[in-house]
Amino acid sequence: MEIARSRPVRIAFVISLILALLSITTALLIKNGILGGERPTPFQPTANVMADVDATLLRASESGKLGLIIMGANWCHDSQSLVARLDDDALKPLLDEKYVTLLVDVGGLEHVSAVIQRFGEQVIYGTPTVLIVDPKTETLINKSKLYQWRDAYSISVEETVNYFAEMAARGDTPAPEPENEAVLALLAQVDAFEEEQSKRIYTAFALIGPMVEMPRSDRPDNFNALWKELSRFRYQITRDLTALRAEAKTADASSELTFPTYKPFSWE
């Protein structure tokens, strides 16, 4: 009889405990923007992004780590996906051991040039853009693999871990020898071509960037068409730049590069 009387009490206690835990969990999810219709906001504006970069690289240098600078935005689901993955149990120990991380908010694509150009690149070709930096030389460790993270949502945790492990290993190896003069001349031509095309992208950012921060219901009717037009160009030019640089590195002194031409944007 004693056992029979205590079972309902125990069941009621367990149910009360479960409900209390659910209530706490729900409150935390709402607070962090996961429920309640809000996005998380890991990317925050800063008064002095260069001071933030300086502090990150200093901490990395003092601790024998690499700088990990993630240029992204709260409106970007690929940026959100990558940031959420940083705390994954499969990845976090590696990042804690090898990297000092900084999230840079690009806003409506107006906060791009200062950071990316500091590390020798002209423009970002998507969000997020991941910069893995040797803090002593400010050399980009992942220069040859900059573009893939704009598709972070479709990259698995395993692929993410492998990428950052590979880049950490690269950081422990000596810098490659400089290319010969003929190759350097051709690569300079590619750089000049990219600089000219980057001006077109910055003009596009100025036009489309403010739209991406708007609520979807407030965006102009032509937003999707404009965004897709820019997106197609961003993907095409990165394919072209990769091919041009690969061709330049295998060329001889008499070689010439053939540069692609692109149709004007609809707003040009």
pLDDT in tens, 221-233: 999 999 999 999 9
CA atoms within a 13 Å half-sphere pointing along the CA-CB vector of 167: 28
Verify that 235 and 195 share a domain, yes or no.
Answer: yes
pLDDT band at 33 (very low <50, low <70, confident <90, very high): very low
- Mean pLDDT (the chain) is 89
State how beta strands 99-105 and 66-72 pair: parallel
Verify that 60 and 12 share a domain, yes or no.
Answer: no
The answer to the question of residue 267 being in a domain is no
The answer to the question of residue 234 being in a domain is yes
Domain boundaries, position 144? 49-170
pLDDT at 255: 85
Number of domains into which the chain is organized: 3
The answer to the question of residue 34 being in a domain is yes
Helices (H), the chain: 2-31, 49-63, 77-85, 92-98, 113-118, 157-170, 181-212, 223-249
Verify that 55 and 160 share a domain, yes or no.
Answer: yes
pLDDT band at 195 (very low <50, low <70, confident <90, very high): very high
- Greatest CA separation for the chain: 99
CATH of the domain at 85: 3.40.30.10
User: Residue 67 and residue 140: Cα distance in Å, rounded?
Assistant: 9
pTM assigned to the model = 0.83
Verify that 188 and 129 share a domain, yes or no.
Answer: no
